[in-house]
Amino acid sequence: AMSEKTAQAVTDALRTTMTDGSAKTAGAAHPAAVGKTGTTTANTAGWFVGGTPDETTAVVVYRMSLKDLVPLSLKGLGGDASATPASRRAVDLWTHYIKALT
């Protein structure tokens, strides 16, 4: 367990991702949401863990070679600009999901 003060500090930090960070679109979809994005160094996987007062959900996006299970880059996948972080797709999926619930 953690103190209420610590819990509030963590919530505030996770809320900043939704208001000023890499998950602004998700924050606009649900005003009470909190979350955290992540992308591997080689841009081979991206994730987003988002929570609302009712639930928490994680989305992970990656791809790999079916021949040898080597992770493949997500750069340019689906027409994204090559500099787009892999977490962007995970944020978009979570945003569509949370909109469907509300």
pLDDT band at 64 (very low <50, low <70, confident <90, very high): very high
CA-to-CA distance for 45 and 43, rounded, in angstroms?
Answer: 6
In the chain, the percentage of residues whose pLDDT exceeds 70 is: 100
How many structural domains compose the chain? 1
More confident residue, 75 or 19: 19
DSSP 60-95: EEE-B-TTT--B---TTGGG--TT--THHHHHHHHH
Three-state DSSP class for 44?
coil
Q: For position 76, what pLDDT does the model report?
A: 76
Does the pLDDT value for residue 90 go beyond 90? yes
Range of the domain at 85: 4-101
Q: Please state the pTM of the whole predicted model.
A: 0.86
